């Protein structure tokens, strides 16, 4: 049961990072690749029907982690509460920028919304990358399973390390590659051409980033992900846009699995003493609680997956970025 629920936790995080990954990538790239208000609007419309549904997986991932592994959840939240609060604020800014962009008149208003969208998306990606590196490196867990230290340094020091910087850089390159391949798949006209051209180069950059993930995690999965990222760049160069996006998604999924399984049965390493580390067994809820949430998962999870698949099918057509003469 513990292994099953650990797999569900990893799956929820994989879905979040893949689906929100291209959201964040489009958020950063839209204002950069779009030469005018019309093209920037086309970039935003590619994620308009999906972004809030994709965020459901963040709620699901946090909720499942809390329900199935409360000690792991408690240690992460108590040890990283300042970055987590900043992350939630950035997510709120991004949601407001997406919702309000089309509700005001004037190009200047929409330009400000685009800047807010790009800045918040960039901040979220960098922070998540740093946090993933912390998941691998571990926290200063004491014998009681709580993070030691006091004050702001307790939750800021873990994200101010060289590993966190590498994680942030890797996450940014991966999100940009996801965003570029998604834009080339979902748009037509000049935006599509620019996104495809960028994806050719980002494939190599993403491969380097995933190789860095391999250094952090010592996982062969990260090396496979690096090869997939390089292949995605080649597929983009060949104009195989759907395959390029699917390959990039697989690369990101592999990197996330590598992060969560980097230390085997240990879910959160203690930098104070390895004996204080949290394992899947020591962090898990009681068997009765796991059985209860299993029934909840059986009832809820298929419905969420079916709804998301349906929404992607309904909004599968390309968004035009070229202007049509009146």
133-184 pLDDT tens trace = 888 888 888 888 788 877 787 888 888 888 888 889 888 988 999 999 999 9
pLDDT of residue 162: 85
CB–CB of 73/66 below 8 Å?
A: yes
CB–CB of 244/111 below 8 Å?
A: no
pLDDT of residue 90: 95
CB–CB of 195/228 below 8 Å?
A: no
Q: Where are the domains of the chain?
A: 1-317
CB–CB of 271/239 below 8 Å?
A: no
User: Which among 60, 63, 66 is positioned nearest to 301, based on CA atoms?
Assistant: 60
CB–CB of 134/80 below 8 Å?
A: yes
pLDDT of residue 326: 57
Contacts 24+ apart (CB under 8 A), 298-302: none
Q: Which positions of the chain have pLDDT values less than 50?
A: none
- Choose the CATH number for 1-317 among 1.10.3470, 3.40.720, 1.20.5, 1.20.1630: 1.20.1630
- If phi > 0 it is left, if psi is from -120 to 50 it is alpha, else beta; for residue 279 that is beta
CB–CB of 20/55 below 8 Å?
A: yes
pTM of the model: 0.89
Angle between helices 107-137 and 2-33 (to 10 degrees): 150
> Distance (Å, rounded) from C-alpha 47 to C-alpha 44?
6
pLDDT of residue 77: 86
Other beta carbons within 10 angstroms of residue 112's beta carbon come to 15
pLDDT of residue 151: 78
> Distance (Å, rounded) from C-alpha 77 to C-alpha 112?
33
How buried is residue 211: exposed, middle or buried, by Cβ count under 10 Å (0-12/13-18/19+)?
A: middle
CB–CB of 80/131 below 8 Å?
A: yes
CA triplet 257, 263, 265: central angle to 5 degrees?
Answer: 95
Six token digits for residue 222: 């990260």
**Adjacent-strand bridge partners of 268:** 278
Six token digits for residue 226: 């690096």
DSSP-derived pairing of the beta strands 266-268 and 278-279 = antiparallel
pLDDT of residue 152: 80
């Amino acid at each position: 049961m513990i292994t099953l629920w650990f797999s569900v936790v990893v799956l929820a995080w994989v879905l979040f990072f893949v689906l929100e990954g291209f959201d964040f990538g489009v958020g950063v790239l839209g204002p950069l690749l779009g030469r005018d208000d019309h093209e920037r609007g086309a970039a935003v419309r590619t994620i308009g029907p999906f972004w809030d549904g994709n965020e459901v997986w963040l709620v699901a991932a946090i909720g499942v982690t809390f329900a199935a592994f409360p000690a792991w959840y408690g240690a992460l939240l108590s040890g990283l509460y300042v970055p987590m609060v900043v992350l939630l604020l950035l997510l709120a800014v991004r949601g407001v920028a997406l919702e309000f962009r089309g509700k005001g008149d004037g190009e200047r208003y929409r330009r400000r919304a685009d800047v807010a969208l790009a800045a918040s998306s960039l901040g979220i990606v960098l922070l998540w990358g740093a946090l993933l590196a912390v998941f691998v490196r571990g926290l200063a867990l004491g014998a009681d399973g709580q993070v030691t230290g006091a004050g702001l340094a307790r939750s800021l020091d873990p994200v101010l390390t060289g590993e966190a910087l590498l994680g942030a850089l890797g996450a940014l390159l991966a999100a940009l590659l996801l965003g570029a391949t998604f834009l080339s798949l979902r748009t037509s006209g000049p935006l599509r051409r620019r996104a495809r051209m960028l994806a050719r180069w980002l494939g190599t950059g993403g491969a380097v980033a995933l190789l860095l993930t391999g250094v952090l995690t010592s996982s062969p999965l990260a090396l496979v992900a690096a090869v997939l990222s390089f292949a995605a760049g080649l597929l983009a160069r060949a104009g195989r846009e759907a395959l390029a996006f699917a390959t990039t998604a697989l690369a990101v999924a592999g990197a996330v699995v590598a992060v969560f399984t980097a230390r085997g049965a240990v879910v959160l390493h203690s930098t104070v003493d390895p004996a204080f580390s949290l394992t899947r067994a020591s962090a898990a809820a009681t068997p009765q609680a796991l059985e209860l949430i299993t029934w909840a998962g059986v009832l809820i999870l298929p419905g969420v997956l079916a709804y998301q698949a349906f929404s992607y099918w309904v909004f599968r057509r390309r968004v035009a970025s070229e202007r049509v003469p009146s």
